[in-house]
Amino acid sequence: MDSSWSKILKKKKDEWALSYGLRRLAVFGSRARGDNRVDSDLDLLVEFERPLRIDLLQFVALEQDLEFELGVPVDLVIASNLKPYVREIVLKEARDL
């Protein structure tokens, strides 16, 4: 993954931990596996403390903010929302930031 992206994502991780109770931020998918193309999106797994301190509009705003800063489509996925069969695959390839 691009080192400038890593810096941005680590900064966001710290900000989101304070503001929204983020516990985990991890890359998964083609960029985690290293088989991405130039037009690949960035798949990010997020886990939040309970009870949630973020609503749907804030969550969408986080995703859009990242897309703007990184210049690529971003897919933010909440770990607890994953179906069990998909969750196993995602957790296996996820790389924490």
Catalytic site residues?
41, 43
Q: Which amino acid makes up residue 46? A: V
Residue indicated by tokens 């516990």: 23
SS3 53: coil
Three-state DSSP at 24 gives strand
Q: Are 9 and 74 in contact (CB under 8 A)?
A: no
Closest to 22 measured CA to CA, from 79, 92, 83: 79
